[in-house]
Amino acid sequence: MRRRVIVAASLLSGVMLSATEAHADPRTDYLVKQLKTADDFRVRTQAALSLGASGDAAAVDPLCKALSDSEATVKVASAAALGKLGKQDAVKCLKTAKSKEKDKDVIAQIDQSISKLSGGGGNDPPPVTSDTKIYVTIEVTNKTKRPSGEIDTLVRNAIQAKLISSAGFAVAPKSESADKSGQIVKSKKLKGYLLIAAVDAPNYSGGSLNVTVNVTMWTFPEKALKAQFSPKLTQESTPSTDTEGETILMKMASEKAADSFMKVAASL
């Protein structure tokens, strides 16, 4: 059975990604060959994501090698796939790849996969520095049936990782009060924003998994609405509940919303 992940257009822009998920071991060799030899980076990206969903330990080595691919998208997909595979022996190659990597998005995904494989959770973001220009507070609303703490951590970490990987952005710790965040914005003379991310319940209509994360962008502490981003992702051929698939799509949608937010914030 083949599955594709489709990224719908957000408010600002849309990027199409697809992933063909493999569940049978005989497909591993075929996917490894695609990952190694396909000229189109999108095919290599599909192959990496498919290997991550295969559960096959034989996928670890080719995915590790793909961390040195010429395309950042393939490297991100390979790092994410290694995290999804859940094989502890991937940690070493992820750390090695990180020591040589310069792309911030790739490094962020490598860190997330290492944390996942090591059983680590989310940490408070780095503090405000002299280079900080924009201070962001994040709130997450869970409309799914999954535990609110789980969804909050997933979405918050995805958005936070994107923001702090870009120069000039800092993120308020989850435990920080609104008053404290407002004081920091004013005392440091920063641009303050509040991102409210509402995660819709996954929709399995039509035999596909559909995930939407609606993110509204507000000035802070004034709370004037500036923009809304609603990336929708679809994983085809998913007639029944796929929690792991939901998690991946929620993370990707949150990252897309963060990218859109940063573009808007930079223009204001």
* CA torsion, ordered 58, 60, 66, 72, to nearest 10 deg: 140
CA angle 76, 80, 86 (to 5 degrees): 155
Q: Is 63 in contact with 51 (CB distance < 8 Å)?
A: yes
**Three-state SS for 192?**
strand
| pLDDT cut 90: percent of the chain above it | 62
Residue 4 is predicted with a pLDDT of: 52
Partnered with residue 216 across adjacent β-strands are 196, 228
Instruction: For residues 210 and 202, give the distance between their C-alpha atoms in angstroms, rounded to a whole number.
Output: 6
Average pLDDT, the chain: 87
Q: Are 3 and 46 in contact (CB under 8 A)?
A: no
- The residues spanned by each domain of the chain are 5-117, 134-267
Peptide bond into 221 cis (omega under 30): yes
| pLDDT band for position 62 (cuts 50, 70, 90) | very high
User: What pLDDT is stored for residue 115 in this prediction?
Assistant: 81
CB 7 within 8 A of CB 17: yes
pLDDT at 25: 63
Query: Binning pLDDT at 50, 70 and 90, where does residue 5 land?
Result: low
Q: List pLDDT tens digits, range 47-58.
A: 998 898 888 889
* CATH of the domain spanning 5-117: 1.25.10.10
Q: Read off the pLDDT of residues 75-97 as tens digits, 9 standing for 90 and up.
A: 999 999 998 888 888 999 999 99
Q: Which pLDDT tens digit goes with each residue over 96-133?
A: 999 999 998 899 889 888 888 876 544 568 888 989 99
* Domain 134-267, CATH number (from 3.40.50.10610, 2.60.120.260, 3.40.50.150, 3.30.565.10): 3.40.50.10610
* Residue 15 CB contacts under 8 Å (≥ 6 apart), including other chains: 7, 256
Q: What is the pLDDT of residue 63?
A: 96
